[in-house]
A and B are shown apart, each in its own frame.
Chain A
Amino acid sequence: MTAHLLEEVRTLAADVLGVPRSQVQGDSTPEHIENWDSIQHVSLMIAIEEQFGVEFNPDEIGHMESIGKIAELLSGKLNTRTD
């Protein structure tokens, strides 16, 4: 996973969740960010899917527990696509 990708996910998450970017770190989870409920999680996933042109399957979404994990799974997905 590139640092650049993590930064992009942080920016997107801050925008979707309506919180300052500084509040969204790699280890941030829904337990740390009050606005991050199940509906905002869907909004975040859809925003990422649209921005990066990918679609996550249920297994992948099930592992997306933090911003860092989301960026990691997204990175794997993008790498698979370019292989």
Chain B
Amino acid sequence: MNIRIEPYAPEHVPAVKSFNERWETRAGSAFRLSERPPATPRSALPREEYLALDDGEVRGSFSLKRQQFWINGQTMEIGNCQLPISEGTFNPAYANLGMVLLRHALSLQKRLFCLGMGSRQNRLPRLLSAMGWKLIDIPFLFRVNHPARFMRNIVPLRRTLPRRLAMDAMAASGAGWLGFRALQARIPESSSVAVETVSEFESWADALWDRCQSDLSLSAVRTSSVLNLLYADPRSIRLKVSRDGVVVGWVVLRDTQMQNHRYFGNLRVATIVDAMAVPDAIPAVVRATSRIAEQRGVDLTISNQGHELWVRSLRHCGFLSGPSNYILAMSPAMAALLEPLATHQSRLHINRGDGDGPLDL
């Protein structure tokens, strides 16, 4: 075996296609590496794509997104390692490849994180944990606006026939409505902030970032130039929130009609993808955003938020905690910058705007 890691180039496409065929047949996964030579879309931050090659055959892959982060009082480059996959998943001859890929990624940027990954029982979080990475669950919160539609569509709660029957009965009888009414606090009334939909982030976002960053132990730099790259797509609803004429926050919201989604079925889902606000305005920003989502007619509003003030404000607004499949894994060099972690963990500003963004939402 003579593994070499190389940037993905056009001449690798045939080998990538072969890898995809093996992956589909032997790993039983619908995931496919892109069969087009990589190009950086104008709307995204640069992403480097690497392939693990053994005698010309692709045996694995990972992507690296480099981004400026604010971390414990300093601004520096941090790498996000995305989708490390290895033929070792189904071929024991490549059992060493997962570690090769991750060590190679660390040689490119030792301050590295992975995000998402599903359950901690999955292969990648276990592998990262074995390599001494620090794993933190980023809380998932949800608010049900239309209980009957929620119960008829939410896939994880409808996996067995008895559950489906029970959920359908609750939806039809109104018991679900009563249940959520009891569980979820109403969105508190608030007129303390004004919300405006904007087409792009401007200098007000930079001023807000300057005001907010000292409260955060970890956050991707969220200046207007970065935000305009991340959220240029037409599906991002950009909300500017002001109080007494001063900008105190912003939110990026998505409103998506799901179709046979693996978790959300055919629900219409609003996602609070990303947000920033001065600490004392966070509750008002959350209230205003929740109300906007409700007024748009979505069935469900969801958010993953790492910072405890956002989590607390969402809960105060009637959001419930659900099982999180959104895990932050930090390399030892990155985690060392946040020592002692117990002190900094409550101020990690990580949400669905980080990593590979709001895919699938």
Contact = CB atoms under 8 A, between A and B. Distances in A.
Co-assembled chains A and B: yes
A57 interface: yes
A23 to B, nearest CB: 15
Interface residues of A, number: 22
Nearest to A69: B1
Interface stretch (B91-99, B167-175, B259-267): B91-99
Interface in B197-244: none
Contacts of A62: 1-3, 96-97, 100
A56 B92 CA distance: 20
Contact of A42 (B3, B92, B131): B131
A19 interface: no
Given A38-B88, A58-B100, A30 B107 contact: no
B99 A45 contact: yes
A61 B100 contact: yes
B103 interface: yes
Contact of A41 (B3, B89, B95): B95
Interface in A10-33: 29-31
A38 B123 contact: yes
A34 to B, nearest CB: 9
Contacts of B96: 30, 38, 41, 45, 61-62, 64-65
B107 A46 contact: no
A62 B94 CA distance: 9
Nearest to B101: A58
A37 interface: yes
Given A38-B127, A57-B107, A62-B100, A46 B132 contact: yes
B127 A39 contact: yes
B312 interface: no
Contact of B123 (A31, A39, A46, A59): A39
B93 A31 contact: yes
A42 B130 contact: yes
B26 interface: no
Contacts of B98: 38-39, 41-42
B131 A63 contact: no
A65 B95 CA distance: 8
A56 B107 CA distance: 12
Contacts of B131: 42, 46
Interface string B91-124: 0111111111101100100000000000000010
A54 B2 CA distance: 22
A40 B88 CA distance: 12
Contacts of A30: 92-93, 95-96
Contacts of A58: 3, 5, 99-101, 103-104, 107
A46 B332 CA distance: 13
A43 interface: yes
A31 B96 CA distance: 12
Contacts of A43: 130
A38 B107 contact: no
A8 B31 CA distance: 40
Contacts of A36: 92, 95
Contacts of B86: 38
B126 interface: yes
Contact of A38 (B3, B5, B89, B104): B89
Interface of A: 29-31, 36-43, 45-46, 56-59, 61-65
12 contacts: A36-B92, A38-B123, A39-B130, A42-B130, A45-B99, A58-B99, A58-B103, A58-B104, A59-B3, A62-B97, A63-B3, A65-B1
Given A31-B92, A62-B100, 6 more contacts: A30-B96, A41-B98, A42-B99, A45-B99, A58-B3, A61-B100
A-B pairs with lowest CB-CB distance, top 3: A62-B3, A30-B92, A30-B95
